Amino acid sequence: MSVSETAEKINSMEVRGALRIAVEAARALEEELVNGASYDELVRAGDVLRDARPTAVSLPNSINYVLHLAESHKDNDPVVAKPMLLADISDFISKLEGSLDKIAEYGANLIEEGDVLLTICNSHTVTEIMKRAWADGKRFKVYACETRPRLQGHITVKDLQATGVDVTLIVDSAAYHTMIHKDVKKVFVGADTVYSNGDVINKIGTSQVALTAKHSGAEFIVCTSSIKFSPFSVHGEVVEIEERDASEVAELPGVKVFNPAFDITPKEHVNMIVTEDGVIPPEAAYQVLKDRFGWSLG
């Protein structure tokens, strides 16, 4: 898919999901390179792609990584350098594509026979983990928050139910009561962005679930590829929380609505983050960022 086509599909949300976006952006640059693009053209292609979705951190992360690879080869003999670069990009894409599988494996290991789990929103990573554990023969219960205003919890419930996972829907405000009275042991959630200090940005309601998990003795487990860790946060850049349209919440003429799309869960309420690099404490976010994007943090 060409750069412009990819940018368009990312913009129109035809290509969605942080991991998919990262993969498609890298592929578009790869194709550009195959088609003979120079380093400078690649940089410009990166700019086009980057503008397609200004808020998702996986997009600039992927583009910057490919450009970083390109830059490190740029002064070498193109005959030798180009195949090496293409191989590097291909490796990067493979690793991205394989990350979901790794996280599913590690996350499924964390689920124990007889567990009671809870989740909020619809994280593909989280449902993969649960389905993997179920396929491994473990039996457990899942409570899924409906996740107002857009009710993504319905997708979660249908997806899990289709594979036979024992899942029950609750309203968001019943999360704490359910944790206490149904003996929830672990909460699994996805992430939108992970800050360098370990704080986690995710769907509105997540920080509330994390606080209540801590107070009811449940573990709070974030599941996400490291492509969503923000190198920008290393420089202190903060994500502006998107406020969405009132109509998502209610069609009440003249009624004011405050509709934030995300919130921030502080690191001290997160027991662990499951990444393709393994199970880490949130505080290892900085190390992961240095290992992966250290070249860009100068």
User: Alpha carbon of 136 to those of 51, 169, 221, 244, 286: distances in Å?
Assistant: 42, 23, 20, 40, 33
Question: Rounded to the nearest whole angstrom, what is the least distance from the CB of residue 202 to a copy of itself in the complex?
Answer: 11
Question: Rounded to the nearest whole angstrom, what is the least distance from the CB of residue 148 to a copy of itself in the complex?
Answer: 4
Query: Contacting a copy of itself (CB under 8 A), which of 6, 62, 123, 147?
Result: 147
**Is 192 marked active-site?**
yes
Query: Contacting a copy of itself (CB under 8 A), which of 146, 159, 201, 227?
Result: 146
Question: Rounded to the nearest whole angstrom, what is the least distance from the CB of residue 223 to a copy of itself in the complex?
Answer: 10
**Per-residue contact track with a copy of itself, 80 to 119, x per CB under 8 A?**
-------------------------xxxxxx-x-------
> Is 143 a residue that touches a copy of itself (CB under 8 A)?
yes
> Is 155 a residue that touches a copy of itself (CB under 8 A)?
no
How does strand 262-265 pair with strand 193-194? Answer: unpaired
Q: Which long-range contacts (CB under 8 A, 24 or more apart) does 248-254 make?
A: 248/149, 248/150, 249/148, 249/149
> Is 178 a residue that touches a copy of itself (CB under 8 A)?
yes
| CB proximity list for 122: less than 8 A, separation 6 or greater | 147, 152, 153, 155, 156, 159
| CB proximity list for 173: less than 8 A, separation 6 or greater | none
* Binders in 233-252 for a copy of itself, by CB under 8 A: 233-238, 241, 246, 249-250, 252
- CB of 189 closer than 8 Å to CB of 209: yes
Of 159, 192, 199, 277, catalytic? 192
Question: Rounded to the nearest whole angstrom, what is the least distance from the CB of residue 297 to a copy of itself in the complex?
Answer: 6
Q: Which part of the chain contacts a copy of itself (CB under 8 A), choosing from 25-33, 42-50, 57-65, 166-174?
A: 166-174
Count CB atoms within 10 A of the CB of residue 40: 9
**50 vs 95 by CB, closer to a copy of itself:** 95
- CB of 187 closer than 8 Å to CB of 208: no
* Binders in 268-287 for a copy of itself, by CB under 8 A: 268, 271-272, 274, 277-287
Give strand pairing partners of 143.
118, 168
DSSP class of 218: -
**Is 145 marked active-site?**
no
The residues carrying an active-site annotation are 121, 192
